[in-house]
């Protein structure tokens, strides 16, 4: 009972921090929109889609390695240092490649004359790597306070420094410098907390194993999957404006449509998932520990509860966003087109949320290789469909592809989890109850909106 209460408390802390982060992110994007416009928002999203490739390379594998090894009783100080060195080595390599290739990437894919924005982002990669590893440690020991504080520090440092830098530098330079400053601040908080806590209480370790080979067993599939997925995602993001342009939209209109969907609509769609993201993060060490000790009933019970909660929550959020889509678009961005896209894309929410939490549970059960395989297949499919369909059907094709992608990926991941966790599908609890509740909420909100 005490363990369950601690789990819920940590999830609540992460949720509160995540909600604040995502709300501030939506506000910040609205602020950026006022500075650079929808076309600039498109360029901003494209820049970070390239940078995301480097981020995934630096942060994904070693972070999970720390979480898994500490949760399984193998997280000795030597093991954690090796994870840090592994991640730092990868991050310096990624930063070097990004720095050297910045001009080529900017001119070839971003229509920018200089690669300075990418060079300003590159120094933040080693700080991201260290921060991700040490967050993995805190998640493993069920301490969500430090990661939450670090993320808040990163967000508010980024926002504050960016606002100041807008007075000194060009808009894009200010945005990139602010992002790097936020990463440094976040890393400083996590590193300081780790040093203080481990001096008072060294990491518990029941098994001294933690060789580079074992780290690679966990990290390499995740790192490879993240790299390939991010590479294909970056390719996809670069193809979208080009496909819209070939369909008949001008350069400005294509970047604007892309900026609205990725820079404005997606943050609102993902905002309510803060609780589920926190739950997923906390489930990884719980399931890893249960799996290491052979507690099959604990795994089955945790997976079943996660499905029930996720589907109920996501169906209700779908109804809420369908009813208030245009109001939210006007409230945050003053843009009716954002509200229209939000209403169209709201039904994708249950699949997005379920896919996210299932992916976390698979990682906790040592099934990261399967996640890599599914993500790779999904990304290949998206790139091919975007290259073929967007020039013909335009933005409608892009929305169709997003739906198809979520159906494909979620189906494969759910099927694998059900098999590994040995969970029986509960049609009434997982599907009928959430669907009926969402329908009732939709009619209630529609009635209230009409009356008010």
Is pLDDT of 7 > 60? no
Are 165 and 178 in contact, with CB atoms under 8 Å apart? yes
Is pLDDT of 201 > 70? no
Residue 390 pLDDT class (50, 70, 90 cuts)? confident
Residue 88 pLDDT class (50, 70, 90 cuts)? confident
Is pLDDT of 378 > 70? yes
Per-residue 3-state assignment (H helix, E strand, C coil) for the chain: CHHHHHHHHHHHHHHHHHHHHHHHHHHHHHHHHHHHHHHHHHHHHHHHHHHHHHHHHHHHHHHHHHHHHHHCCCCCHHHHHHHHHHHHHHHHHHHHHHHHCHHHHHHHHHCCCCCHHHHHHCCHHHHHHHHHHHHHHHHHCCCCHHHHHHHHHHHHHHHHHHHHHCCCCCHHHHHHHHHHHHHHHHHHHHHHHHHHHHHHCCCCCCCCCCCHHHHHHHHHHHHHHHHHHHHHHHHHHHHHHHHHHHHCCCHHHHHHHHHHHHHHHHHHHHHHHHHHHHHHHHHHHHHHHHHHCCCHHHHHHHHHHHHHHHHHHHHHHHHHHHHHHHHHHHHHHCCHHHHHHHHHHHHHHHHHHHHHHHHHHHHHCCCHHHHHHHHHHHHHHHHHHHHHHHHHHCHHHHHHHHHHHHHHHHHHHHHHHHHHHCCCCCHHHHHHHHHHHHHHHHHHHHHHHHHC
258-269: per-residue pLDDT in tens?
778 877 788 888
Residue 204 pLDDT class (50, 70, 90 cuts)? low
Across all residues in the chain, what is the average pLDDT? 80
What confidence score (pLDDT) does residue 24 get? Answer: 79
Q: What percent of the chain has pLDDT over 70?
A: 84
What confidence score (pLDDT) does residue 181 get? Answer: 92
Residue 180 pLDDT class (50, 70, 90 cuts)? very high
What confidence score (pLDDT) does residue 4 get? Answer: 60
Task: Report the interhelical angle of 2-71 vs 124-140 (nearest 10°).
Answer: 130
In 3D space, the residue among 15, 44, 187, 181 whose CA is nearest the CA of residue 118 turns out to be: 44
Q: Tell me what the mean pLDDT of segment 434-450 comes to.
A: 87
Q: How far is CA 309 from the centre of its chain?
A: 20
pTM of the model: 0.69
Is pLDDT of 356 > 80? yes
Instruction: Among 5-14, 58-67, 258-267, 309-318, name the one with the lowest average pLDDT.
Output: 5-14
Q: Tell me what the mean pLDDT of segment 73-79 comes to.
A: 67
Is pLDDT of 334 > 80? no
Q: What percent of the chain has pLDDT over 90?
A: 9
- CA distance linking residue 106 with residue 237, whole number of Å: 14
Most confident by average pLDDT, 128-132, 146-150, 240-244, 282-286 = 128-132
Is pLDDT of 144 > 60? yes
What confidence score (pLDDT) does residue 94 get? Answer: 87
Is pLDDT of 188 > 90? yes
Is pLDDT of 205 > 60? no
Higher pLDDT, 289 or 355: 355
Residue 206 pLDDT class (50, 70, 90 cuts)? very low
Is pLDDT of 336 > 70? yes
């Amino acid at each position: 009972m005490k363990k369950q209460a601690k789990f819920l408390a940590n999830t609540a802390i992460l949720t509160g921090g995540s909600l604040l982060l995502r709300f501030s992110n939506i506000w910040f994007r609205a602020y950026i929109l006022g500075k650079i416009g929808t076309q600039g928002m498109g360029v901003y999203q494209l820049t970070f889609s390239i940078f995301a490739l480097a981020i995934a390379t630096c942060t994904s594998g070693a972070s999970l390695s720390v979480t898994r090894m500490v949760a399984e009783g193998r997280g000795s100080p030597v093991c954690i240092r090796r994870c840090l060195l592994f991640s730092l080595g990868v991050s310096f390599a990624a930063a070097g490649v990004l720095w050297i290739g910045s001009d080529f990437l900017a001119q070839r894919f971003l229509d920018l004359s200089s690669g300075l924005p990418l060079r300003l982002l590159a120094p933040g990669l080693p700080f991201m790597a260290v921060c991700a590893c040490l967050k993995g440690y805190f998640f493993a020991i069920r301490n969500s306070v430090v990661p939450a504080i670090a993320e808040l520090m990163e967000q508010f440092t980024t926002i504050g420094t960016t606002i100041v830098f807008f007075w000194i530098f060009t808009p894009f330079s200010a945005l990139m410098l602010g992002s790097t400053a936020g990463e440094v601040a976040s890393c400083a908080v996590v590193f300081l907390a780790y040093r203080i806590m481990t001096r008072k209480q060294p990491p518990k370790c029941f098994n001294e194993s933690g060789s580079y080979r074992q780290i690679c067993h966990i990290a390499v599939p995740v790192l490879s999957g993240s790299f390939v997925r991010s590479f294909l995602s970056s390719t996809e993001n670069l193809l979208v404006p080009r496909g819209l342009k070939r369909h008949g939209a001008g350069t400005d209109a294509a970047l604007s449509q892309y900026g609205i969907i990725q820079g404005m609509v997606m943050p609102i769609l993902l905002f309510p998932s803060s609780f589920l993201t926190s739950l997923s993060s906390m489930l990884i060490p719980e399931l890893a520990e249960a799996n290491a000790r052979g507690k099959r009933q604990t795994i089955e019970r945790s997976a079943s509860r996660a499905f029930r909660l996720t589907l109920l929550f996501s169906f209700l959020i779908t109804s809420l966003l369908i009813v208030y889509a245009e109001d939210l678009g006007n409230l945050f961005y003053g843009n009716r087109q954002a509200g229209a896209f939000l209403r169209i894309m709201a039904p994708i929410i249950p699949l997005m949320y379920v896919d996210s939490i299932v992916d976390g549970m698979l990682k906790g059960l040592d099934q990261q290789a399967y996640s890599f395989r599914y993500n790779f297949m999904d990304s290949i499919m998206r790139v091919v469909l975007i290259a073929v369909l967007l020039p013909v059907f335009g933005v409608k094709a892009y929305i169709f592809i997003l739906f198809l992608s979520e159906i494909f990926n979620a189906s494969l991941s759910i099927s694998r989890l059900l098999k590994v966790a040995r969970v029986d599908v509960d049609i009434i609890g997982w599907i009928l109850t959430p669907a009926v509740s969402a329908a009732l909420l939709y009619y209630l909100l529609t009635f209230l909106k009409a009356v008010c």
